[in-house]
Amino acid sequence: MINEIIRDAEVRMKKSTESLVDNFKKIRTGRAHPSILDSIQVSYYGSPVPIQQVANVMVEDARMLTIVPWEKKMVPEIEKAIMKSDLGINPNTSGDVIRVPMPALTEETRKGYTRQARAEAEGAKVAIRNIRRDANSSFKDALKGKEISEDDDRRGQDLVQKLTDKYVAEVDALLAHKESELMEI
């Protein structure tokens, strides 16, 4: 019973940190990286699909992404999808190749993205703490139902707290890494 609750809590906490990593990928740094375009959907025969399913996305140099669509008719669709995204990037098309220059971040945008990253990290910490609360309430319910002893309840709560501390520290490390990425010129 205790192991099941802890295993469930750990799986959910791990998903929270994975979600944070995905959210961090959407925050643009000054460097070109294909994952920046992960959230952009392109209309392909009427249905929205990720850009990676209709084109090759490559890093040309530190500040330039190159997109080569598999079908020539997808060039304007991809271009339109990138323009509509809120990433603040403008594609340049030459023939059937789309180049996406990554503009240098100003100090103001860096600080704005850093605030956004901190908000995402705080959201992940709140999710982890909510998982801890759910696990602890499961222990309390099991204690009331006489399924576990008070010692098991205390031991389970200690283990869940250690898990919480571990994942909160992981979130802090991810945030520190993202902030250093954002602040480097």
Q: Is the pLDDT of residue 13 over 90?
A: yes
CA atoms within 13 A on the CB side of 32: 18
**What value does the CA radius of gyration of the chain take, rounded to a whole number of Å?**
22
- Domains of the chain listed by start with CATH number: 2-25+106-183 (1.10.132.20), 34-101 (3.30.1360.40)
- pTM, two decimals, is 0.74
pLDDT in tens, 115-139: 999 999 999 999 999 999 999 999 8
User: How far, in Å, CA of 81 to CA of 180, rounded?
Assistant: 29
What single DSSP character describes residue 101?
Answer: E
Share above pLDDT 90 across residues of the chain, in percent, rounded to a whole number: 37
User: What pLDDT digit, counting tens, does each position of 24-63 carry?
Assistant: 887 777 677 787 888 888 988 888 898 888 888 888 887 8
